[in-house]
Amino acid sequence: MSKIEGVIFDWAGTTVDFGCFAPVNVFVDIFKQAGIDVTIAEARKPMGMLKIDHIRTMLSMPRISKLWEELYGRAFNEMDVENLYEEFEPALLQSLSQYTDPIPEVVNVVNVLREKGLKLGSTTGYTNKMMDVVVPNALKKGYGPDFYITADETNSYGRPYPYMIFRNMEKLKISSVRHVIKVGDTISDIKEGIQAGVWSVGVIVGSSEMGLSQSEFNALSPDDKKIAINQTRQVFLDSGADFTIETMKDLPLLIDKINGILSKDQLVIEHR
């Protein structure tokens, strides 16, 4: 029977670090040190990419690019990207262990999926050095997938390229892209899933796209929560997501729904 065999999760903003706050403040700080004030929204926009690609994308934003030219009398170059990254990495590593708490419901849902026999992979915008901090700290708190990979192992081709997903599929021995769900909290995650040909799912509450801490989200009125959820859902759908889920608690039911679609597809093929 044709059905989902595995789920590939993102890390920060999806399974750990509610709101994906670990990298955001560091991006803001390194640009400030370089003489450029960037907004939280600008720092979040490329979230999910390999971090050096994230910096390059920020420098390419029209407003930031113009400020850079005004300050330095020239357009940014690759050396500027590398210099900023050299500031970024040690600053992130210093604080990263504080941002490894599993997002509510993740540990329980992962246990449910494992009981159903699903394989659990993961991709990330972090590097191996960063994951050397994140993985053991998250594991101490109850979360760990069967496999993780960074773009360090795909020749620095991170999201939205699909290669990290394919390496997960190879390692976990999953038979088809149609039998894989990618769950993430950024546009880069959605595009990664689309370009790999898997089911691409955006998780809303706790996402970088929503950009709220857990206390900020909890403090919203019911109506404001609905507005924030609907706005984030629309961004994911507009980016091509197959489905969205409000929280990880919704994932098992979504898997059942997709399995129903796959069963119908199989029946159509068998009756041709």
Catalytic residues: 10, 51
For the sheet with 199-203, list strands across it: 119-122, 6-9, 180-184, 199-203, 243-245
Q: What φ, ψ does residue 20 adopt, rounded to 5°?
A: 55, 65
- CA 239 to centroid of chain Cα atoms: 14
- CA 15 to centroid of chain Cα atoms: 9
3-state secondary structure of 271: coil
Tokens (6 digits) for 229: 């959820």
Distance CA 233, CA 120 (A): 24
185 is in an annotated binding site: yes
Full DSSP string of 137-201: HHHHTT---S--B-GGGTTT--TTSSHHHHHHHHHHT---GGGEEEEESSHHHHHHHHHHTSEEE
Tokens (6 digits) for 22: 């670990």
10 is in an annotated binding site: yes
Give the single-character DSSP code of 61.
S
Binding site for Mg(2+): which residues?
10, 12, 185
Residues annotated as binding site?
10, 12, 185
